[in-house]
Amino acid sequence: MKLPAVEAYLFEIGEALQFDRQYARDVCDEVADHLYESVDEQARAQRASPSRAGRTQGELRALFERFGQPRVLAAQFASTYVFRKLLALLAWVFALGAASYMLGLVVGPLSWAGFGLAGGCALAVLPAVLRVRREVYPRAQSWPKLCMPMLASTSAVLLLGAALVASAVWKVEHCQSSICIALDLAIALALLLRWALHRKQTARMCALWRSVS
């Protein structure tokens, strides 16, 4: 049976993790399993000992205190999500960038320069993430530091998208086939859309970390 107090606690966690709805659902499911398992243990103990009757609300409050405030718990889950998020983003960006050059009939020097700059910016993100990743659960004091690699990766995506637009403009004068121009523009559009989503997620995650640090 679902308890209103537990569902309200889970709802607050889910709201704080709305930067990724699937991740929010996964976290809420995991926390719900632990919470209801503890509630069931309390109920069994209550049936076994009549003297414990009527202590449910106090035990629920103690349970929530043991788990922590919902937004703090959500911030902790967000901090462990960053490493996976950034690796997936960088892999996606480089795969898409590589595909644009492999499929393009002509590659302009502007696009190669932009790709190099974006690659350097993206790789510069990794040391900061790996430094924080040494802790399985980063301390609350470290959470705001995660904003830097998130913002740097956002810049890398934007830079690569802008480089592909510059490449398409260059190819208007130097490329005889329109296919290579269309490829650059299509992939640049995909990157810029991904940048907009990542920027929105970054803003929400940083706001969460700062609010509880």
d(CA 100, CA 103): 5
Q: Using 50, 70 and 90 to split pLDDT, how confident is the model at 158? A: confident
- Lowest average pLDDT, out of 81-95, 127-141, 174-188, goes to 127-141
Q: Is the pLDDT of residue 33 over 80?
A: yes
- pLDDT, averaged across the chain: 76
Tell me how far apart the terminal alpha carbons of the chain are, to the nearest angstrom.
Answer: 34
Alpha helix (H) residue ranges in 55-146: 56-67, 70-103, 109-133
pLDDT at position 11, please? 95
d(CA 35, CA 29): 10
pLDDT at position 105, please? 47
| DSSP reduced 3-state for 120 | helix
* Domain ranges within the chain, ordered by starting residue: 4-68, 71-212
160-195 pLDDT, tens per residue?
777 777 777 777 777 666 776 777 778 778 878 888
| Gyration radius (Cα) of the chain, Å | 24
